Structure 1
Amino acid sequence: MTRARAVPYALSGFEKGGLLALSEKDLGRLRAGPLAAVEARAIRNGLCWESIASDIGFDPYLYRRHDGFISARKLVDLLEHVADASRRDAEIFDEASTLQIGTLSILDYVTLCAPSIEVGLRNWARFQITCNTAVSVSFRVEDNWGCMEYGPMAQLGKHNQLSYAMATAASSRFMTLSEGIPDAIRIEIDAPAPSGQAAFLTKHLSKIQFDCPRTRILIPAKVLDEQPPRSESNLYRVVEKAALEDVTAQIGVESPLGEIVETINTQLKNGHISISTVSSALDISERKLQRVISAEGTTFRQLIEETRKSLAQHYLHDTQLSMKEICYLLGFSETSAFSRAAKSWFGKPPRLYREQVNKS
């Protein structure tokens, strides 16, 4: 292969903005699979991929590894550099919208093969950690819309290209879930509009709004009960199990919270759980436990809530346990308390949620 010209690497907003106090681990990481498309774009624009990778500091062929991840800091620098050096800041829309299914690993399949569109969208947020630990993602239904919302990205410095890529990769996949989505979808991006053009923008510009407070994708609620065209119950059970295993592995890699969550899980059925009982089980002081949890950007109460929610999803979908048994395992004193919690998590009572996620 002919070696293309190298372009000097310019430091991004990380170094310029004095954010070096935040380590690469603090900022999270993202799956490296999409880097293959970034490499193709760089070479197409006459840039030397190996030189760029060397300057930024990552393995240029990281995307060939099944377990390959790149730090958010390096990915942001890479995407901004390629856009600036090629002077084509909109190409990433077409690149992200044409990523092959499977590029995002198990996240693609657990979303596209789900029994309903709502379950698939909730899975996109639920299993985001398998591909992305840098930006939080949540899903909720309100005001006749299903809203997929990405958390703040200011800590990443200038991140226009990453926002474009995240919004486009997600929305292009969601558009395949129902014929009613492409014309009704709304895409909000927390970055200014690019100066260049792209086929994806030409086709969907009327549905995209830039300079928004957060990156969000809005899906009409009327399609959420539909079955996606790729839905397949047996395959879904396999990929969901794999996704749950991947989440467990990622929690162990990314955060010291894994052991804490496991302890909370074990103690919930005792009916009384507190930071004192958890710290005692872990053989550390309450103060140290509080420091660890705070350093991870959460609270003890939020950990209990998220653990209960995750377990409830598992028990309602993967077991035949009665509501009374699930209530006991989650540490609720009454089934009415569990029902109220389930409504806040899933937008519906636990029995109805179980019926909908288990229908084939």
Structure 2
Amino acid sequence: MAKSPGKIYAQLLVNTRAQAEALGFDWFKMARDIGFDPKVTDDPEGAGPSEVYLEVHEYLARMTGNDAMGVILGSQVKMGSMKVFDYVALTAPTIAQSLENWRRFERVLSNITQISLNDVDGKRYLSWHISNLYGPHVQVTAKAMSFSASRLRHMLGGREVDLTFEFTQGKPRQVETYYRILGRNIRFGCEQDRIGIPLEVMDVAPVGSEEHLYSLIEKTALARLASNQIEDNDLDNISRAINEALKEGDPSLDAVARKMAMSKRALQRRMEENGLTFRQAVDRVRKALAEQYLLDGKLQLSEIAYLLGYSELSTFSRAAKIWFGVSPKAYRRGETSGAPDGQRPATLRAG
């Protein structure tokens, strides 16, 4: 995998490794198949490459043939296993403060995700945006939303709350798994990935709310944020510019530089400083968008090729075969190139 500034808290990889191994996967074989250093889990308190985290989840979904993998794994993350990030929400004085802390301290976990909060029609929406520059992220987005839903329900005790879920992805094949874990208030093919929480519960104290403990944990979280090993990166704006250029049919260096109000040379230098070539960046964004469009199922293959900036359907088909191991049609049907020899994935259940 090419080097890039996309970083995540290594504990996320540690937890995911444990989940994968519980399903019968061999971490070292996965590392060989995907192409990463298996030692990324050696320092749980350090930083790891975001591409590995994203691709491991897509790999697990492909190899098991279960496109609800992310939502299942998110529901199974043990309470407290995310340490300070968990407890800064679980012990907060109100649900509103818990949500604000997720937004405030997301950078402790990752520098490729943006979390926002806004109030609409009687609900506070917790929204996620993950840059397409780091590869397909359908499963990780679903995992983040499922993780957050499990925490919200825990914090609200047995209280009946009308949570709503909106996903940018198309309707998954295993949609019943989504309904079983998250409930029936789910929409797919939306403009944002977000959870809606009724404003009426914002002042509710979470079940584990504890003033003195919260004060200590908040100080720890602030100290961790101040000394964070996950440095900022400035590639998200480039990713957005590439997205726009692709949709306009001109993913060239010239076009993206114009959108960024930069010279071509300045844009190239920016990419070099962040460990990526422009061609690598375009390819990553194309792959992430291709997965989204194919799984959504609303667009013809020729339309997808056009939106990805390809003049010929055959060129898109060749690229998809490299990315996914199968043709675009086969990928849309849920086919994969097959589990690697020796892999015996466990039967998945929703926890």
**Under a length normalisation based on structure 1, what TM-score does the superposition of the two structures give?**
0.59
Report the alpha carbon displacement of residue 35 of structure 1 after superposing the two structures with TM.
3.4
- 1:157 equivalent to 2:135? Answer yes
Which of 222, 234, 252 does residue 212 from structure 2 map onto?
Answer: 234
SS at match of 1:168: helix
Give 1:180 deviation, angstroms: 7.5
Decide which moves more: 171-180 or 239-248: 171-180
Distance 1:91 1:152, change over 3 A: closer
Determine the structure 1 residue equivalent to 2:4: 24
Select 1:255's aligned residue among 232, 245, 269.
232
Could you tell me which of 71, 75, 99 is aligned with 2:53?
A: 75
TM-score normalised by structure 2 residue count: 0.60
- 2:32 maps to 54
Q: Does the CA contact (< 8 Å) of 1:104 and 1:131 recur in 2? A: no
Cα distance in 1, alignment partners of residues 153 and 115 from structure 2: 18
The higher relative CO (CA closer than 8 Å, separation ≥ 6) is in 2
How far residue 226 of structure 1 moved from its aligned partner, in angstroms, is 1.0
Q: Structure 2 vs 1, CA of residues 203 and 137 (structure 1 numbering), >3 Å: closer, same or farther?
A: closer
Shift in CA distance, 108/42, structure 1 to aligned 2, threshold 3 Å? closer
Find 2:107's aligned residue among 114, 129, 142.
Answer: 129
Select which of 217, 221, 224 maps to 1:243: 221
Q: Distance in 1 between matches of 2:49 and 2:92?
A: 29
What are the equivalent positions in structure 2 for 1:109-148 lying under 5 Å apart?
109-148=87-126
Q: How far apart are residue 63 of structure 1 and its match?
A: 4.1
Partner residue, 2:174: 196
Indicate conservation of the 8 Å contact 1:145/1:221, yes or no.
Answer: yes
The letter for the 2-side match of 1:158 is: P
- Residues 18-73 of structure 1, C-alpha deviation per residue, up to 9 Å, x if partnerless? xx7xx520xx2222334345334544554332111234344436446331433222
Aligned position for 1:288: none
Asked whether the 8 Å contact 1:190–1:213 carries over to 2, the reply is: yes
Please tell me whether the aligned partners of residues 57 and 69 of structure 2 are also in contact (alpha carbons under 8 angstroms).
no
**Pairing 1:195-214 to 2, within 5 Å after superposition:** 195-196=173-174, 201-214=179-192
Provide the secondary structure at the position in 2 that maps to 1:95: helix
Bigger radius of gyration, 1 or 2?
A: 1
Tell me what 1:97 maps to.
75
CA contact (8 A) 1:163 1:190 kept: no
**CA distance in structure 2 between the partners assigned to 1:50 and 1:102 by the alignment:** 27
Alignment CA distance shift 1:106-1:77 (3 Å): same
Q: CA shift at 1:77, angstroms?
A: 1.5
> What stretches of structure 2 of length at least 5 have no aligned partner?
235-265, 272-351
* Cα distance, 1:213–1:182 mapped onto 2, change above 3 Å: farther
Once the two structures are TM-superposed, the CA of residue 179 in structure 1 deviates from its matched residue by 4.5
Mapped contact 1:112–1:120 kept (Cα < 8 A)? yes
Give me the whole-angstrom Cα distance separating, in 2, the residues matched to 1:206 and 1:248.
Answer: 40
Structure 1 residues 102 and 41, CA gap change in structure 2 (3 angstroms): closer
Distance 1:39 1:255, change over 3 A: closer
Match of residue 332 from structure 2 = none
Q: Does 1:84 align with 2:62?
A: yes
C-alpha distance in structure 1 between counterparts of 2:74 and 2:34, whole Å: 21
- The Cα shift of 1:74 comes to 1.7
**Contact persistence 1:106–1:242 (CA under 8 A):** yes
- After the TM superposition, which segments of 4 or more aligned residues of structure 1 sit over 6 Å from their partners? none
Alpha-carbon distance change, 58 to 181 in structure 1, aligned in 2, over 3 angstroms: farther
The alignment status of 1:185 with 2:163, answered yes or no, reads: yes
For the residue of structure 2 that corresponds to 1:125, the secondary structure is helix
Q: Which residue of 1 aligns with 2:16?
A: 38
Q: Provide the aligned length of Structure 1 versus Structure 2.
A: 239
> 2:72·2:143 contact (CA, 8 Å) conserved in 1?
no
Would you say the 8 A contact 2:13–2:48 is kept in 1? no
CA distance in 1, matches of 2:166, 2:12: 22
Equivalent in 193, 199, 203 of residue 221 of structure 1: 199
Distance 1:253 1:131, change over 3 A: closer
Shift in Å, 1:210: 1.9
Change (3 A) 1:64 1:178: farther
Q: CA RMSD in A?
A: 3.0
Partner residue in 1 for 2:348: none
How far apart are the structure 2 equivalents of 1:205 and 1:79? 22
Q: Secondary structure of the residue that 2:48 maps to in structure 1?
A: strand
Unaligned runs of 5+ in 1: 1-14, 258-290, 297-360
**Counterpart residue identity of residue 99, structure 1:** V
Identity within the alignment, %: 26
